[in-house]
Amino acid sequence: MKIGFIGLGNMGGPMALNLVNAGHEVTGFDLAAPMPAGVAKAATAAAAATGADVVITMLPNGAILRAVAAEVIPAMAVGAVLCDCSTVDVDSARAVADQAAAAGIGALDAPVSGGVGGAAAGTLTFMVGGTEDAFAKVKPLFDIMGQKAVHCGAAGAGQAAKICNNMILGVTMIATCEAFALADKLGLDRQKMFDVVSTSSGYSWTMNAYCPAPGVGPKSPADNGYKPGFAAELMLKDLRLSQQAADSADADTPMGQLAADLYRRFVEDEDGKGMDFSAMLPRFEKRGRA
């Protein structure tokens, strides 16, 4: 396919490179990031989209997505597909899908899970909203860039799945870190704590696969000074998106709101910015009961 790729940073760059290595013709545009090897550089986002079968975007937020969509949709051919892989608010995803549909263009919201490592290895998971036809057209590209693509439903469903998943992730990581800090103060060995919880009813991904305690369980950012695999500020972004969606849908999410509040304090008022989101553990270690 002929592919336009807009947003070639830490995630978009390796995703585009995997498409090039699979034999696709990729033209890219980014305001700052360099073009990966084999990606032709366009002068504008519209130029990258012109003549493309699929345009993929990987952008910081919904406002930027809306601005880019307004630029590229008029340049795209009828029948092409705009596939946004950013994590943005549901309302922006649906607004862009409506704009694309009015122009005769397919649209997918397809946020990813798997981080920079998954982008480089081609093992991302895509959570996809949009029409069946658009999903079928882009599915071969999802298979190159990732290991799984789930069609979650109509426009916005991909973003809904992503933010619901990450709300669970944020809440669960806080609970895991709280439990380790409590275990420390009760004199319980961390390895014994892991051995019990990882095989009993406290089992979770944050305990078993991404343990926030250094030297316990599989290797994780905790074993590398909490350098980010998934940065705390990105978790804060996703938790804020979850609460924005909850407001829009009139949903009661008290744990999600509390997690958002705690990560906001950690990132903006304490030392969490630039740290992995599992660095909540040393935060709780230093604190007593309020």
Known catalytic residues are: 162
**55 near 33, Cβ under 8 Å?**
no
Cα 207 to Cα 90: distance, rounded to the nearest angstrom = 29
- The single-letter code of the amino acid at 34 is P
Tokens of 101: 């549909």
- Pairing of the two strands 106-109 and 124-130: antiparallel
Beta-carbon contacts of 231 under 8 Å, excluding residues fewer than 6 positions away, are 274, 275, 276, 277
How far, in Å, are 106, 174, 180, 202 from residue 198 at the CA level? Answer: 44, 16, 12, 7
